[in-house]
A and B are shown apart, each in its own frame.
Chain A
Amino acid sequence: MTDIAYTYDGSLEGLLSAIFTAYANKEDPSDIARAENLQPRLGQEVRDVETSMEFALRVQKGICRTCGPIAFDAVKSTSLSDDPATGSIVYRFVRYAMAKHKPHDCAGCTRKMRCGGLCTRGQKNSALNDIAHPSVAPFHELNRTVYNERHRMMQFLRFEHMEGDVWFAQCNPLASVVPLLMDWFAGRFNTQAFMIYDEVHRIAGVYEGKDWYLVKTDELVLPERSAEERAMQAAWKRFYDTVAVEARYNPELRRQFMPKRFWRNITEMKETLPGREIAGSRR
């Protein structure tokens, strides 16, 4: 049997189609990766998998039925990672979870299968619990890095007030976490229309007061900042500089908690605040 690698387009649907192809062709690809990330092994046959919504939906249904919707949610969020091995790790996990075939522990459940096997209770037998297993442990780790990145964004996202009463935030996460963020911010700031733009993955999440949606874009045209924005940013920067206690100065600790790669999008860490450069030149 030859060594096979699949390439996919990087989307969740693409990954699920690749998983479908592996099952359909009765193959066990050793790598599933994006085309640009794949370094073919010696003698490896590389096959490009075409994304098919129909296949992806069938895989989704299968994972939900066999492993439970929580496992599928984990697959969904893990596939957002930028790690080059994401495809392979998710595929290994799905293989293991499907083979384990212990869907739901419906024993003693009061719903008596009224849920159609889709409830979220009784996850005792879920493959997600085998956290020390070699196909699950990397999956878990990757899933956690995605959620860590999401939490970082919850911490360090900074909104700016634009003209026309819209709020805009730009971020550079290591995983495409905007879809995971939108629920949180759409709840918290449900009174304001806002947009979160991920400059790395070129995805924008938009909330306009009702429901949020994602936009894939390469071009971003922003309105001017509103009048009070500069004063607010300056006030925040002053607060930030004031609140540190000199006698406890410990920049290593700060960098550990707030990695430098985020600094260019964090208001108080920016070298120059908007409008400041003009004020400086005038002087």
Chain B
Amino acid sequence: MDIADKLEILADAAKYDVACTSSGIDRDAQKGKLGNTLAAGICHSFSADGRCITLLKVLMTNVCVFDCAYCVNRCSNEVARAAFKPHELADLTIGFYRRNYIEGLFLSSGVIRSPDYTTELMIQTLEILRFEHGFRGYIHAKAVPGTSPELIDHLGHLADRMSVNMELPSSQSLQLLAPEKNKQNILAPMKQIKENIAEDKDTRAIARKCTTYMAENKPKKKTRAFVPAGQSTQMIIGATPESDYHILNLSASLYRTLSLKRVFFSAYLPVNEDARLPVKDAIELNREHRLYQADWLLRFYRFDVNEIIDEKHPFLDPLLDPKANWAINNLDSFPVEVNTAPYEMLLRVPGIGVRGAKSIVRARKRSTLREPELRKLGIAYKRARYFITCNGSYAGTGADFSREGLRAQLAAPIQGGRHGRRADKAIPGQLSLFEQVDTTKPKIMRPGEYQRLAASTDAPNLADTPMSAASPTEARALPQASADPFATSIPEWFAPAVSRQPKPDASPSRIASPRWDSGSIATQGFAGRERIVASVRA
């Protein structure tokens, strides 16, 4: 078999792996050696699905002894099988790297013979790359569950990042869909990698420190650091019935306890016919998108998982991003004054990101920020204006400063492109020529009035929003809104004719329309649109 044919088979088998990034470590170039790395990572190409290609993502082999229901490479599937020889793969990687096609190698594998044998093959490849070719680029290696700890340790000293696939968000699902894997043999390597990273960091820190006046006796040969770019994991979303609440709590605890760098989600794509798998055509790409947004809030915006999602509403709002959702549920802490607000609070304003908040903090030391200055700083002023005051003046005119009013301003379907499966979606709120539209203008409430209304507790439309959440920490302790946010807001969003008063009993609840739970209205296509129209008419 030609090497290009092998590459095609093994890249095809690896393409459903999502954890393909080249970030997390800065390594300078060295004379006489090939390559360097950049902490931010570099994407070298983008495939037709818009995902970045940064590493040569291939399997060592797609021969597999396991029979996981969701996987293309399971042993009961009849697909073309191939395996790279270690030096073939190493030569190919170097050839691509020198042409600046890739940032390094992403090496995963099906289980050939046994996990240990597979890992040994991977180790051989990485040794050729690192020692024969003097390769200093990025290498991401997958740890195969069930590998012995010594081999994982060896592999970790050759790779920059390692990952163990969680595969599914709960051990019951794992038992159902991947009977050969279990929670223990997935978590064991993750724990080992975490401990080894910590230990390696400590020893390196001590070795660097000059504690005595004596001449240092440093080892002649430098040892490679163990997994210097940290570890990540990935799980499939939508193949099993776990809720967003469950998934986000799981990833938050993974960040906390195993200090993962990143948890990847991959929307379930039906590739196999299996009785254990859900039968559905819709890929929950929008749900995946919202989960990633929530994940970013956890990692970069200092949110706690309880602020993003709670047990009563276990799915993220498909029409509103989680940050905006938090903001409209905590209107008491807004509007914030951009010229004085602390960095943490700026981060929580919808429309201001990490970079925006940093440049605001940097710019306001020198000048007072008003609207033109803010626009220049590159924040999404259109969204942010409802939640900020610039030097005392509030610019969010035209919208009611209330939960429903702001929701109508901020809610937006996810842009999924004009082609492909995400294109044929119903556009919520789109007006029809023959539809009766009530054009009574609601009274526009300003923040001042809202605060006054909030102070007198008899305001009917504010009764269900949590009060006096002055600081994020307090907000965490308070219970979330009692009414289902979907029950009040979705019908309103879909048909402007329906009155704005929340009617929790009459409106279609989550139970009445279970398809909505998946959070993928947009991906349901034409059938979904019919259903929504029908429910609004009823």
Contact = CB atoms under 8 A, between A and B. Distances in A.
Contacts of B29: 187-188, 190
A232 interface: yes
Contacts of A155: 42-45
B460 interface: no
A132 B4 contact: no
Interface string A67-97: 0000000000000000000000000000000
Contacts of B12: 242-243
B218 interface: no
Given A244-B15, A250-B422, A231 B53 contact: no
Given A242-B12, A245-B15, A236 B366 contact: no
A235 interface: yes
A93 B367 CA distance: 17
Given A155-B44, A254-B50, A191 B417 contact: no
A60 to B, nearest CB: 26
Contacts of B134: 191
A209 to B, nearest CB: 10
A279 interface: no
B285 interface: yes
A169 interface: yes
Interface stretch (A11-19, A43-51, A158-166): A158-166
A189 interface: yes
A247 B28 CA distance: 38
A254 B371 CA distance: 33
B399 to A, nearest CB: 26
Contact of A248 (B285, B359, B364): B285
A268 to B, nearest CB: 6
Contacts of B418: 252
A265 to B, nearest CB: 11
B35 interface: yes
A243 B100 contact: no
Interface in B44-67: 44-53, 56-57
B48 A244 contact: yes
B43 A167 contact: no
Contacts of A232: 95-96, 99
For the complex, would chain A's binding face be called helix, strand, loop or mixed by DSSP majority? helix
B33 A191 contact: yes
Interface in A240-283: 240, 242-254, 256-258, 266-268
B369 interface: yes
A258 B46 contact: yes
A156 interface: yes
Most buried by B among A132, A154, A161, A258: A132
B59 to A, nearest CB: 12
B327 to A, nearest CB: 24
A264 to B, nearest CB: 15
B98 A159 contact: yes
Contact of B376 (A132, A158, A243): A132
Interface in B326-374: 359, 362-367, 369, 373
A132 B368 CA distance: 9
B467 interface: no
Contact of B46 (A154, A161, A254): A254
A137 B8 CA distance: 48
Q: Which bracket fits the contact residues of B?
A: 35 or more
A155 B421 CA distance: 28
Q: What interface size band does chain A fall in?
A: 35 or more
B416 interface: yes
B219 interface: no
A158 B42 CA distance: 14
Contacts of A158: 99-101
Contacts of B11: 239, 242-243
A238 B58 CA distance: 13
B101 to A, nearest CB: 5
Contacts of B7: 235, 238-239, 242
B42 A154 contact: yes
B248 to A, nearest CB: 22
B31 interface: yes
B442 interface: no
A131 B43 CA distance: 29
A158 B50 CA distance: 19
A247 B269 CA distance: 8
Contacts of A157: 100
A240 B47 contact: yes
Contacts of B285: 248
Contacts of A156: 44-45
A30 interface: no
B250 interface: no
A249 B8 contact: no
Contacts of B48: 244, 249-251, 254
Contacts of A251: 48, 50, 417, 419-420
A234 B507 CA distance: 58
A85 B48 CA distance: 36
A141 B376 CA distance: 9
Contact of B367 (A132, A228, A234, A238): A132
Contact of A247 (B14, B283, B376): B283
Nearest to B376: A137
Contact of A130 (B32, B45, B367, B422): B367
B478 interface: no
A235 B92 contact: yes
Given A188-B35, A250-B416, A252-B419, A267 B47 contact: no
A129 interface: yes
A25 B202 CA distance: 62
A88 to B, nearest CB: 17
A240 B35 CA distance: 22
Nearest to A131: B363
B34 A191 contact: yes
Given A190-B29, A234-B4, A238-B8, A250 B99 contact: no
Given A141-B376, A159-B100, 15 more contacts: A130-B367, A131-B359, A158-B100, A159-B99, A190-B34, A235-B92, A236-B101, A240-B45, A242-B7, A244-B48, A245-B15, A250-B417, A253-B50, A253-B417, A257-B50
24 contacts: A130-B366, A131-B362, A141-B376, A151-B42, A156-B44, A161-B99, A167-B98, A188-B34, A192-B98, A228-B95, A232-B99, A235-B3, A236-B99, A242-B11, A243-B11, A245-B51, A247-B283, A250-B50, A250-B416, A252-B418, A253-B50, A254-B47, A254-B49, A254-B50
Interface of B: 3-4, 7-8, 11-12, 14-16, 28-29, 31-36, 42-53, 56-57, 92, 95-96, 98-101, 134, 269, 283, 285, 359, 362-367, 369, 373, 376-377, 416-422
The 10 A-B pairs of least Cβ separation, nearest first, read A253-B50, A187-B29, A249-B420, A248-B49, A244-B47, A132-B373, A252-B417, A244-B48, A132-B363, A250-B50
Interface of A: 129-133, 137, 141, 151, 154-161, 167, 169, 187-192, 228, 231-232, 234-236, 238-240, 242-254, 256-258, 266-268
